[in-house]
Every structure is written in structure tokens, then in C-alpha cells.
Structure 1
Amino acid sequence: MKYVVQTSTLSHNWEPFWKSTDYLNLNCSEFRTQSLFSKFVKHIISNRNNDADLSKVQLTLKGSTSPSVVRSIVKYAYLHNVRELNMTWFARKFFQFPECVFSSETLKHLTLATRDQSFYQHNTSCIPILVWDFPVLETVFLSNMHFGDKGDESVDLFSKCVNLRDLTLHKCCMYGLKIFHIRAPELSDLTITDFTSFPDVFNVVAPKLGNFTASVKATVDKSSLTFESLQLTTEGFDSLEKVNLSLSMPHYEQKRFFPLILDLFHKLHNTKFLVINLDIVEVNNTNCHGYFYLSIHVLFYFFPKTLSSFIVLWIKKIMSVI
């Protein structure tokens, strides 16, 4: 966007283009200082055609970016009926996304990402603890987010996102949080992968959930004596088509996860297709000559209908086992 505006100063033929474009890509890394970036943002907001709607806004920010600048961009985008917002915020120190980000009448697609949120770095949420107000929102992708303040009983963000269909939570941290609610009546795809820390319980209420992908094991142990893993409570997944499970990363005491995986199998037994990684199979038995038989035995016990018609076992490095 910066170069389009600069070009218009050389050729006025470009000026109507950037003033009416429906796509804004604002990257603060293209400016020597945050002050120059702020001035540029003000110039865009002040001079763009006020009658032209926006379809997509892409923001790339640094930790030093002023929250007031972020708020001005987001409010302008929402005022002009933006349908897609992608925001990546690189910050070494703690920050919190402005509350205004989480309410829009027109937004359909939301992506929020940050720099890696260190497991030991924060006890405070980078997402405000409030119910999101997105009546037409369909897809959400959240990466490297810290949810909830330490000791919070529960977080319920999506209950007003009545059209949410696809939710991805990737590399997030919920350390100290007791319950994370996912209540979305239209949700069909849910992905929970590579968490650094899980809440005590994920409470999922999604009657139309068809596809579920999850890493069972958190990537960071709180201590050498404890471990964190995915704990689900549900009201039934009667529409499940496909489940994809992995441990996320190898662990030196994999056998500790066998009871957890049995519990997940019990809660996900309605699925038509089951995809599991080799690390899940290895949990069942450390004896490489016996675990494959035990795994199949366990799967038939929990998924008799699934395995009578389909057996979908995506097992990495399977050739090294046979």
C-alpha cells in the first residue's frame, strides 16, 4: 500500500486507484519509525474515498505500534464493512488486542497471530475477556495466543458467533485457565494443535461438528512431575465425520497418555473416519512387536461401526514398523 500511494505522487492516474481499493495491506516494517507509520495510516484514513467499502485488511504490526493507531485502523475497517481482517503483531513484551477488534456486523473471516507467547512469560491474556460480537463471522484462525488470566474460572468467547463454521487454535497457551468454552451451533471444523498449555477442560458444544483435529499433548510440561493434555467435555458429537489425533511431539513417558487417549476414543466414538499418527499408536505398548495388534484391538472396541466400513490409519513412518 505504501508504494501505491508513493506512485500516485508521480502519476495522478494512480490516485483514484488507491483511494477506492477494497484491499488495504499495512505493514509497519516498511517504515523506518513508528511515527512515520502512524502518519501514513492517518493519511490513508483521511484521503481514501469514504464511500468505498473494504473487503480485506491485512495488518502487520510491531510491539512498539501505538494501540491508538491499531484502534483507528480497525474502527475504520469495520465502519467500511470489511469482510476479512488478518492481523499479525510481533511483540517481545506483553500487549493486549484492543477490545474494538472483537465486534463487527460484517466481518466473516478473522486471523490473529502474535510472536511466540513464551510459556513462562505471561500470566495475563492477550485477548480481552469478553464475548465476541460477530453475527456473521464464519472462520477464525488464532495463533500464538495467551488466553485467560491465571486463576480465571472460565472463558467463553464465541457464544454470540452464531455462524462460526471453522475454528483453528494453534500454538496457544491457556495456563491457569480452568474451562475454555467453545459454544458454536454451526461449527463444523475444529482444530486444536501444538498448544503450550491446555486449560483444565475444553467444553465443546457444537452439534454440527464434522471434522476435529487435535494434538493431545501440550508442548511444554509445567514440571518434571506433571504434564498437560487435552481434556474434553462435550454434549455429544453426533455429526462427526473425521477425527485426526496426534500427541503433538514425542515424549519420554508416552504410556502416561494411554488412559487419556482411551477417554478421547470414548467421547469421539461416533466418528466415521479416524486418522491417527504413529505417536498415538506407540502409546499403547512400548514393545514394537505387540503395539500394533493392541492398537487395532482398542480401536475396534471403541469404533466398531467406523472400522466395520472404514479403517483410516495415517501412520507416519509405517514402513519402519513393518
Structure 2
Amino acid sequence: MRFRIFTEPHRGADYSTLLTVAKAAEELGFDAFFRSDHYMSSGPVRELPGPTDAWITLAGLARETEHIRLGTLVSPATFRLPGPLAVSVAQVDQMSGGRIEFGFGAGWIEVEHAAYGIPFPGIGERFERCAEQLEIITGLWETPEGGRYSFAGKHYSVTDSPALPKPAQRPRPPIVVGGFGPLRTPRLAARFADEFNVPFRNVPETAAAFGRVRRACIAAGRDPASMVYSAAQVVCCGRDDAELAKRATAIGREPSELRRNGLGGSPAEIAERVAEYAGAGAGTMYLQVLDLTDIDHLELLSQLLPLTGADGE
């Protein structure tokens, strides 16, 4: 099992805070540091310090970390045009020495689009745009140097592109597609993704989503074993009940609720819960850490690595 730290900076974190967390995650042996790509949440908003841009953040972290992998979970297709996004991600991958993973999705929080002047089409069009963007981005990255790339779609067209720059990873950085929809998401993952992620679902629901993606892979003529399967859950860990309650209060949750709906409890309790996800087919677990000022929490969570046989490499 690989463990990755997953953050939600739009809830209130500036770059220096994210850098502290990323460096701590690297030093403690976690496999990766991921961040969401949001400007606002659908719930209560912490006004200050305001949102940070995901790819600008990752560019900075690429130069200030050494070996931890970095990525988004996930960048919305609504936020950026596919050509410039391919350039940005390729450049950040170069800056990191080939440590970027590209999480990508259709977008879903309407209020953040309205707040920052971003068009928010219906769900069908968002999925169409997502598929076309993935087609273009992978096409640009995978075009041989010296070649040209063109694409004509319903929403985007690319004409005679030099398809530069190239990412450090060849043919491209790993692509992560996530969700739990019954049809469009599995097909999109089977077509484009190296990893399929199920966020914030219980073990039976996660196993069912993995099964749909495996079937979609078979239908597409792809070996389901070529896909990495992962899960994401909010985590709240304490050495005892008092410490757990304190951390739960800090993120506005209850210990009992976190034990039911996330990864809540002692390191041993969380390791048992993670083993259930492993039994459902997950090889990677994203630990959603919501209080980014609590570095001691990360140190405690690092106890999961020997408990589960993970080495952080």
C-alpha cells in the first residue's frame, strides 16, 4: 500500500503552509503530496488567506522538494484550456525531475465557477470537454519531437501544433481519473487513466466502482491489471481518545462519525481500516489531511507505513 498526503488548500492555506506540509511528508516517507484544484468549496468558506493556484503551487514545490511525487486530485476541465495546460504540466514535470502526476476531471462545484467568472456548462458537456482535453493533452505529450499534432473536436481544435514542451516522464506523466459514476467515468478511465481513484466512499462502494472500471477496461480491450486502483479518505488520528477528539474538533467533525465515514482512530485502527480497502483492490490510499498546521499529525500518520508494510518509496 502506498500512502499519499492529500490536502485541500482552498479551505485556508497559503504557499508557505503547503511547503511545510510537503517537506514534512517527504521527510516522513510518504509516497506523494497531492492537493485539490479548487478556488472555493461548496460548504462554509474560510475567507483568508484565500485560494492558491494548484499548478503554480506545484511548480514551487517541484523546486523545493527532492523525491516526493506531486499531483492534483483533480484539476477540472472547466478551469483551463487544454493546450496551455499541457504546457504548464509538462514544464512542472521538468522542474520536478519527472515527479508529477496529473489528476484530471470534469469539474463539479458550481459556486466556485460563479465566484471566479468561469463558465459552468451542464454535466454532459463537462464530460465531453474533459474527454477532448485528455485527448489533446495526451496527444501533445505523446507526439514525437519534430512532429506535429492536430485535433478537431466539438469543443476544442488544435492545428499543426509543434507539441512542445515535452514532460520529463515519457511518454507522459501518469494520469489519474477519479469518481464513482456508473458509465462515463469508467469509460474515461479505461481510455486515458493510469490510475483510477474513488474518493470518500465506503469499502463496498469502492469495490463496486473498481469493478465497473475493470469491466470498462475489458470492453475497451485493455488489461484491467494495467490500472492502478486507489481510494481517498479523510483521516484523523490520535494516540488516545482525547487526542483524537481534539483533532476531530479542529476540523469540525466528531470522532464517531470519522470512524464510520473516514479513517478515524489510532494508527492501529486506521491500519485495519486501510486493510479493508486493500482487500477491495486499492493499492494506494490518499490521506486527506484537513488541518495543515498540525505537523505532529503527519508524524503520527507515518506510523502507518511500517504497520502496513509501506516503505514510502
- Give the TM-score, by structure 1 length: 0.28
- Give the TM-score, by structure 2 length: 0.29
- Structure number with greater Rg is 1
